[in-house]
Structures are given as structure tokens and as C-alpha cells.
Amino acid sequence: MMRIIFPAHQETGDGLFASINNAMKEAQVSAEQIDFISAHGTATIYNDEMEAIAFNRMELQNVPLNSMKGYYGHCLGASGLLESIISMESALKNTLIPSKNFEETGTSKPLNIIKENQPAEIKYILKTASGFGGCNAAIVLEKA
């Protein structure tokens, strides 16, 4: 029998929660000001659940959210940069881009997954990334 053990923060979202909290404090932005979330969103059970927990703990569950991995796959380290660039272009075009191939949420906490292109006034974007071994990062991007 194989047993897989995940770090405690994986189950509680502690690492991503701390990253998001720090990024929002540094940017001096509240949950109500975030217009859009570009999540790491690997469509894996553990990652998506961890993200859903962290976003809910930050009271971001109603913010429109997408993951771009369905368009191009997972580029490992380049994903965060690529998704940040796409998110800024989305803000410049005032368009929320859907998560490609999304069908149903597989998380215990609610999320507002973008299902189709839609117009939106976007000023603040929260971009998150999660890596192997529990590495988590978050940045708040602002459209000037």
C-alpha cells in the first residue's frame, strides 16, 4: 500500500493564504477591490482544494476566477509569468477569459469560475502560483 502525505498547509491552504494575505497587504488592497483572480488551477484534486480553501479564507470566493492551464498546459516555472501577462492583457481589453474545458467544481468550498468571455472593468488582479514542495506565491497586479 502506498501512502502519500502532503504538508499540513496543503490541506489547510495555509501557505497560499499567507502568500495572498501578504501580497494584498503590501499592495494595500482589500478583498472587495480584487476584480479577477488568475489561479494556479492545475485541475488536480489537492491543488484545487487547497486554492479553494485559501481563497475562501481570504473572502475571495465570489471574485471571478480562471486558470489558463487548459489553453496551453503546464509550463512549470513559466506558468506564473505567462499567466500574469495574459491577465494584464485581459485587464487592458476589459474582458474576463474563461477556464477552458471547465465543467464542474471539484472542491468543498465555492469558487466563482469564469465560464465564458465577459466584459468587466478590471483594475486589480490577484495572480497566484503554487509549486512542488508547498511553494506558494501571490502578486496583486494593478491596471494604471
The CATH code for residues 13-142 is 3.40.47.10
pLDDT for 8-55, tens place per residue? Answer: 456 788 889 999 999 999 999 999 999 999 998 888 888 889 999 999
Residues 6 or more apart whose Cβ sits within 8 Å of residue 133: 7
Q: Give the pLDDT confidence score for residue 9 in this predicted structure.
A: 52
Short-list 69, 18, 60, CA closest to 37: 60
- 105 — pLDDT class (breaks 50, 70, 90): confident
- b/e sequence 85-117, b meaning 16+ C-beta within 10 Å: ebbbebbeeeebbbbeeeeeeebebebbbbeee
Short-list 15, 69, 61, 82, CA closest to 40: 69
Mean pLDDT value across residues 73-87: 85
CB-based burial label for 62 (10 Å; 0-12, 13-18, 19+): middle
CA dist., res. 11 & res. 46, Å (int): 8
> Residue 86 pLDDT more than 80?
yes
Residues 6 or more apart whose Cβ sits within 8 Å of residue 32: none
End-to-end CA distance of the chain: 54
Residue count (the chain): 144
